[in-house]
Amino acid sequence: MESFDPRVLSHACFLAFIYALLALGASAYRQILDDFAAKDVKLGEDLDTSYDPFMMVILGGIVALTALFTWIALAWNEARIELYVVPLCLLINFMQFYYRMHQQRLQIKTLGLVGRTIFEEGWRIVRYDNIHLVEVEQDPIWDTVVMYYTEKADATGKDAIEFRRRMTHRMRKELIEALEMRTSAKIFTKESGKQS
Protein backbone atom coordinates (compact mmCIF):
# COMPACT_ATOMS: atom_id res chain seq x y z
CA MET A 1 0.00 0.00 0.00
CA GLU A 2 3.02 2.28 0.45
CA SER A 3 3.41 2.31 -3.34
CA PHE A 4 0.11 4.18 -3.83
CA ASP A 5 0.62 7.42 -5.77
CA PRO A 6 -2.28 9.90 -6.06
CA ARG A 7 -0.68 11.60 -9.07
CA VAL A 8 -0.55 8.34 -11.04
CA LEU A 9 -4.13 7.63 -9.97
CA SER A 10 -5.25 11.03 -11.32
CA HIS A 11 -3.64 10.26 -14.70
CA ALA A 12 -5.30 6.84 -14.68
CA CYS A 13 -8.67 8.48 -13.94
CA PHE A 14 -8.20 10.79 -16.93
CA LEU A 15 -7.50 7.80 -19.23
CA ALA A 16 -10.52 5.96 -17.80
CA PHE A 17 -12.66 9.06 -18.43
CA ILE A 18 -11.64 9.07 -22.11
CA TYR A 19 -12.44 5.35 -22.31
CA ALA A 20 -15.83 5.98 -20.67
CA LEU A 21 -16.70 8.61 -23.27
CA LEU A 22 -16.10 6.09 -26.03
CA ALA A 23 -17.74 3.09 -24.38
CA LEU A 24 -20.82 4.76 -22.95
CA GLY A 25 -21.17 7.06 -25.97
CA ALA A 26 -21.56 4.07 -28.28
CA SER A 27 -24.21 2.57 -25.98
CA ALA A 28 -26.09 5.86 -25.78
CA TYR A 29 -26.03 6.23 -29.57
CA ARG A 30 -27.53 2.77 -30.01
CA GLN A 31 -30.19 3.57 -27.41
CA ILE A 32 -31.16 6.73 -29.30
CA LEU A 33 -31.60 4.69 -32.50
CA ASP A 34 -33.72 2.15 -30.64
CA ASP A 35 -35.84 4.88 -29.08
CA PHE A 36 -36.72 6.12 -32.56
CA ALA A 37 -37.70 2.56 -33.55
CA ALA A 38 -39.74 2.05 -30.36
CA LYS A 39 -41.79 5.25 -30.72
CA ASP A 40 -44.31 3.46 -32.93
CA VAL A 41 -44.67 0.42 -30.65
CA LYS A 42 -48.19 0.33 -29.29
CA LEU A 43 -48.66 -2.98 -27.49
CA GLY A 44 -50.41 -1.82 -24.35
CA GLU A 45 -49.16 -1.53 -20.80
CA ASP A 46 -46.13 -3.27 -19.32
CA LEU A 47 -46.97 -6.40 -17.35
CA ASP A 48 -43.44 -7.52 -16.51
CA THR A 49 -39.81 -7.31 -17.58
CA SER A 50 -37.27 -10.10 -18.02
CA TYR A 51 -33.50 -9.65 -17.97
CA ASP A 52 -30.98 -12.04 -19.50
CA PRO A 53 -29.39 -14.15 -16.70
CA PHE A 54 -26.21 -14.64 -18.74
CA MET A 55 -25.66 -10.87 -18.61
CA MET A 56 -25.97 -11.10 -14.81
CA VAL A 57 -23.22 -13.74 -14.82
CA ILE A 58 -21.03 -11.45 -16.94
CA LEU A 59 -21.63 -8.58 -14.48
CA GLY A 60 -20.58 -10.81 -11.58
CA GLY A 61 -17.42 -11.77 -13.47
CA ILE A 62 -16.57 -8.13 -14.12
CA VAL A 63 -16.96 -7.33 -10.41
CA ALA A 64 -14.65 -10.24 -9.52
CA LEU A 65 -12.03 -9.11 -12.08
CA THR A 66 -12.25 -5.53 -10.78
CA ALA A 67 -11.59 -6.71 -7.23
CA LEU A 68 -8.66 -8.87 -8.40
CA PHE A 69 -7.01 -6.11 -10.44
CA THR A 70 -7.55 -3.55 -7.65
CA TRP A 71 -5.79 -5.87 -5.22
CA ILE A 72 -2.94 -6.39 -7.73
CA ALA A 73 -2.60 -2.63 -8.30
CA LEU A 74 -2.42 -1.90 -4.59
CA ALA A 75 -0.07 -4.81 -3.82
CA TRP A 76 2.41 -3.97 -6.60
CA ASN A 77 5.83 -2.60 -5.55
CA GLU A 78 5.59 0.62 -7.54
CA ALA A 79 2.70 2.76 -8.70
CA ARG A 80 2.08 2.14 -12.41
CA ILE A 81 -0.58 3.83 -14.50
CA GLU A 82 -1.63 0.66 -16.35
CA LEU A 83 -2.26 -1.11 -13.04
CA TYR A 84 -4.60 1.70 -11.98
CA VAL A 85 -6.34 2.02 -15.35
CA VAL A 86 -7.41 -1.62 -15.63
CA PRO A 87 -9.77 -1.70 -12.59
CA LEU A 88 -11.18 1.70 -13.51
CA CYS A 89 -11.92 0.52 -17.06
CA LEU A 90 -13.47 -2.66 -15.69
CA LEU A 91 -15.83 -0.51 -13.60
CA ILE A 92 -16.76 1.39 -16.75
CA ASN A 93 -17.40 -1.93 -18.51
CA PHE A 94 -19.60 -2.93 -15.58
CA MET A 95 -21.69 0.22 -16.07
CA GLN A 96 -21.84 -0.36 -19.84
CA PHE A 97 -22.95 -4.00 -19.49
CA TYR A 98 -25.50 -3.06 -16.83
CA TYR A 99 -26.90 -0.41 -19.16
CA ARG A 100 -26.88 -2.89 -22.06
CA MET A 101 -28.65 -5.52 -19.91
CA HIS A 102 -31.35 -2.96 -19.19
CA GLN A 103 -31.65 -2.13 -22.90
CA GLN A 104 -31.94 -5.80 -23.89
CA ARG A 105 -34.74 -6.67 -21.55
CA LEU A 106 -37.82 -8.49 -22.73
CA GLN A 107 -40.95 -6.45 -22.04
CA ILE A 108 -44.10 -8.47 -21.50
CA LYS A 109 -47.00 -6.21 -22.48
CA THR A 110 -50.77 -6.66 -22.60
CA LEU A 111 -50.88 -7.11 -26.42
CA GLY A 112 -47.47 -8.63 -27.16
CA LEU A 113 -43.76 -8.85 -26.42
CA VAL A 114 -41.02 -6.32 -27.12
CA GLY A 115 -37.42 -7.43 -27.06
CA ARG A 116 -34.05 -6.28 -28.24
CA THR A 117 -31.21 -8.60 -29.15
CA ILE A 118 -27.54 -7.81 -28.86
CA PHE A 119 -26.60 -8.17 -32.54
CA GLU A 120 -29.66 -6.63 -34.23
CA GLU A 121 -30.66 -3.01 -34.56
CA GLY A 122 -34.07 -1.99 -33.33
CA TRP A 123 -36.69 -3.86 -31.38
CA ARG A 124 -38.26 -7.23 -32.04
CA ILE A 125 -42.02 -6.78 -31.72
CA VAL A 126 -44.15 -9.92 -31.39
CA ARG A 127 -47.93 -9.71 -31.10
CA TYR A 128 -49.55 -12.52 -29.11
CA ASP A 129 -51.94 -13.42 -31.94
CA ASN A 130 -48.96 -14.02 -34.29
CA ILE A 131 -47.23 -16.58 -32.02
CA HIS A 132 -47.89 -20.14 -33.25
CA LEU A 133 -45.50 -22.35 -31.29
CA VAL A 134 -43.52 -21.99 -28.05
CA GLU A 135 -40.72 -24.31 -26.93
CA VAL A 136 -39.37 -24.16 -23.39
CA GLU A 137 -35.84 -25.52 -22.89
CA GLN A 138 -35.32 -26.06 -19.17
CA ASP A 139 -31.79 -25.94 -17.79
CA PRO A 140 -30.55 -26.09 -14.18
CA ILE A 141 -29.30 -22.48 -14.25
CA TRP A 142 -31.76 -20.69 -16.57
CA ASP A 143 -34.43 -21.52 -19.09
CA THR A 144 -34.65 -20.64 -22.78
CA VAL A 145 -38.00 -19.83 -24.34
CA VAL A 146 -38.20 -20.09 -28.14
CA MET A 147 -41.22 -18.53 -29.81
CA TYR A 148 -42.07 -19.09 -33.46
CA TYR A 149 -44.22 -16.35 -34.93
CA THR A 150 -45.21 -14.82 -38.24
CA GLU A 151 -45.55 -11.16 -39.09
CA LYS A 152 -48.59 -11.54 -41.38
CA ALA A 153 -51.93 -13.20 -40.73
CA ASP A 154 -51.85 -15.25 -43.99
CA ALA A 155 -48.23 -16.46 -43.60
CA THR A 156 -47.27 -20.12 -43.89
CA GLY A 157 -44.92 -22.22 -41.78
CA LYS A 158 -41.99 -21.31 -44.03
CA ASP A 159 -42.44 -17.67 -43.00
CA ALA A 160 -42.08 -18.41 -39.27
CA ILE A 161 -39.50 -16.34 -37.41
CA GLU A 162 -37.69 -17.63 -34.33
CA PHE A 163 -37.42 -15.44 -31.24
CA ARG A 164 -35.20 -16.96 -28.52
CA ARG A 165 -34.77 -15.59 -25.00
CA ARG A 166 -32.87 -16.80 -21.92
CA MET A 167 -34.56 -16.07 -18.61
CA THR A 168 -34.73 -17.14 -15.00
CA HIS A 169 -37.11 -19.90 -13.91
CA ARG A 170 -39.42 -17.37 -12.25
CA MET A 171 -39.62 -15.19 -15.35
CA ARG A 172 -40.23 -18.24 -17.55
CA LYS A 173 -43.29 -19.06 -15.45
CA GLU A 174 -44.55 -15.46 -15.75
CA LEU A 175 -44.07 -15.46 -19.53
CA ILE A 176 -45.74 -18.85 -20.01
CA GLU A 177 -48.73 -17.69 -17.93
CA ALA A 178 -49.03 -14.57 -20.08
CA LEU A 179 -48.77 -16.65 -23.26
CA GLU A 180 -51.36 -19.19 -22.08
CA MET A 181 -53.84 -16.40 -21.29
CA ARG A 182 -53.27 -14.31 -24.42
CA THR A 183 -52.41 -16.69 -27.25
CA SER A 184 -53.60 -19.99 -28.70
CA ALA A 185 -50.04 -21.14 -29.46
CA LYS A 186 -49.00 -24.67 -28.56
CA ILE A 187 -46.48 -24.67 -25.71
CA PHE A 188 -44.01 -27.53 -25.41
CA THR A 189 -41.47 -28.25 -22.71
CA LYS A 190 -38.43 -29.70 -24.43
CA GLU A 191 -36.84 -31.48 -21.47
CA SER A 192 -39.85 -33.58 -20.56
CA GLY A 193 -41.18 -33.81 -24.12
CA LYS A 194 -44.71 -33.19 -22.88
CA GLN A 195 -47.01 -30.39 -23.85
CA SER A 196 -47.54 -28.02 -20.92
The verdict on 36 and 116 lying in the same domain is: no
In a domain, 194, yes or no: no
126 and 153 fall within a common domain: yes
104-139 per-position pLDDT tens digit: 788 888 888 888 766 666 678 888 888 888 888 888
Q: Which domain holds residue 154?
A: 106-189
- What pLDDT score does 88 carry? 92
pLDDT in tens, 65-110: 999 998 988 888 887 888 889 999 999 999 988 888 877 788 888 8
What is the CATH classification number for the domain harbouring 170?
Answer: 2.30.29
Of 87, 103, 119, which marks where a domain is finished?
A: 103
Same domain flag for 35 and 78: yes
The predicted model scores a pTM of 0.73
User: Does 195 fall in a domain?
Assistant: no
Do 37 and 94 belong to one domain? Answer: yes
- Position 1 in a domain: no
**DSSP collapsed to 3 states, 69-136:** HHHHHHHCCCCCHHHHHHHHHHHHHHHHHHHHHHHCCEEEECCEEEECCCCCCCCEEEEHHHEEEEEE
pLDDT score for 90? 93
Residues 142, 112 share a domain = yes
Least confident of 37-51, 77-91, 129-143, 174-188: 37-51
Number of domains in the chain: 2
